[in-house]
Amino acid sequence: MNDHVYKKIDVVGSSRESVDDAIRKAIVKASRSVHNLEWFEVDSIRGHIEDGEVGHFQVTMKLGFRLED
C-alpha cells in the first residue's frame, strides 16, 4: 500500500430541494475540475428564507482529494 498526501478545499453547495441535494450538486460540480476526490466533511448548514419558508439550503463543506505522485 502506498502512502498518500491529501489536500482539502472549501466549497458551498446550494439547492432548493434539500441538504442532501446541495451536497451532491457540489461534489458533482467540483469533480469536473478537481481530480482524485475521495471524501467530504460538512462544516455548516444554513439556508435562505423566502416568504417565511425555506428558499434554498446552503451547505459549506470540505472536499478532500489525493495529490498525484
For residue range 8-25, list pLDDT tens digits in order.
999 999 999 999 999 999
Q: Does residue 45 belong to any structural domain of this protein?
A: yes
Q: Does residue 37 belong to any structural domain of this protein?
A: yes
Q: What are 26-67's pLDDT values in tens digits?
A: 999 999 999 999 999 999 999 999 999 999 999 999 999 999
pLDDT for the residue numbered 60: 98
φ, ψ (nearest 5 deg) of residue 28: -60, -45
- Domain interval for residue 37: 6-66
Q: Is 52 helix (H, G, I), strand (E, B) or coil?
A: coil
CATH number of the domain residue 48 falls in: 3.30.1660.10
Confidence of residue 3 (pLDDT cuts 50, 70, 90): confident
Domain count, the chain: 1
Query: Alpha-carbon torsion 49, 50, 51, 53, what sign?
Result: negative
Confidence of residue 69 (pLDDT cuts 50, 70, 90): confident
- Could you tell me where the DSSP H helices lie in 1-69? 19-31
Q: What is the pTM of this model?
A: 0.88
